[in-house]
Structure 1
Amino acid sequence: MTDHMLMPKPNPNDISIGKDQWITFIDVIGQQGQAVSIDHLVDPLESFWTALESNCVAGCCGIDALSLWPEDIQKASSSMDRVELLIALVALREFAVRNENKIFVSTRLNNYFHKQVLLQIIDHIQAHVMSTQIS
């Protein structure tokens, strides 16, 4: 995986998606009781999430365990059926968009997400899976 030499995070919980690129984390403290589980859509992508766990494991560090840098997303998806991966990501995105709740949770990813943050993560991953060259 990539050797990530980073500038300090603009905000302590922001999510690194590239050199000096971040998704701004929106705090959900006090709203966790409203969270809707996304594990039924996250769990089928187990091998993808595992391949992205380069900084730690999600069970320990949540989303921060995953390397969401473009080259790491491309590498993690290169050995997968990318059409199936994209279909699964679209299903996850559609579930979040159609759900009226603004807070989501994944036990697998060990994280609570504000809808806006979750959608940005999915969009970022989709863009880099689609840009992966078929070898």
Structure 2
Amino acid sequence: MPRTDSHRHDIQIGEDAWIAHLDVSGREHTAVPIDDALQRASDLWNALETLCDAGCCGVDAFDFAPDSVRQAAATLDRRQLAAALHAMHQTIEALPVSVVVSQRLNFVGDKRTVLALLAHLHRHVQPT
């Protein structure tokens, strides 16, 4: 589905499904890096980076549609990946700040946005 102005900064996770971008204006300076935590699922990030390059398009470079996530996870150890996503979620949730930054995803945003993305990924990589 084409991006509309109402979803200009949101993360698309399906044909008509989005994770809302939460404004971090005035809080950017408090951002804490999360790339060490995200490294636990580097193979998944690599497999989902199919629409562009994150260095160019940020999170818009990744295809987070449920079928794409399941297809990418099928090539990986799903149990290990689910555990890694759970651990990432816990690590990021425990951060004492509300803004996070990732060079890997080319993203600065509210940590609730990242937590929602990790929850979405976790739902679709669960072993059957």
Superposition TM-score, scaled by structure 2 size: 0.91
CA change 1:9–1:82 in 2 (3 A) is farther
Q: Paired residue for 1:63?
A: 59
Specify which of 109, 124, 127 is matched with residue 113 of structure 1. 109
1:9 is displaced (CA, Å) by 5.4
Aligned length: 128
Q: Could you tell me which runs of 5 or more consecutive residues in structure 1 were left unpaired when the two chains were aligned.
A: none
1:106–1:112 CA contact under 8 A, matched in 2 = yes
2 CA distance for matches of 1:19 and 1:8?
A: 13
Greater than 6 Å deviation, 4+ residue runs: none
Q: Paired residue for 1:25?
A: 21
Q: State the one-letter code of the partner of 1:65.
A: A
How do 1:74-85 residues align onto structure 2 when only pairs under 5 Å count? 74-85=70-81
Q: Paired residue for 1:96?
A: 92
2 CA distance for matches of 1:31 and 1:7?
A: 26
SS at 2:52's partner residue?
coil
2 CA distance for matches of 1:97 and 1:38?
A: 11
Q: State the one-letter code of the partner of 1:90.
A: H
Q: State the one-letter code of the partner of 2:105.
A: L
1:82–1:129 CA contact under 8 A, matched in 2 = yes
2 CA distance for matches of 1:63 and 1:103?
A: 16
2 CA distance for matches of 1:67 and 1:10?
A: 19
1:7–1:20 CA contact under 8 A, matched in 2 = no
Q: State the one-letter code of the partner of 1:11.
A: H
SS at 1:10's partner residue?
helix
Superposition TM-score, scaled by structure 1 size: 0.86
After superposition, give the CA deviation of every residue in 1:67-115 in whole Å (9 maximum; x if it has no partner).
1000000011111011111111111110122112001111111111212
Q: Could you tell me which runs of 5 or more consecutive residues in structure 2 were left unpaired when the two chains were aligned.
A: none
Q: State the one-letter code of the partner of 1:30.
A: G
2:54–2:104 CA contact under 8 A, matched in 1 = yes
Residue 68 (structure 2) pairs with residue 72 (structure 1): yes
1 CA distance for matches of 2:5 and 2:73?
A: 26
2:37–2:92 CA contact under 8 A, matched in 1 = no
1:125 is displaced (CA, Å) by 0.4
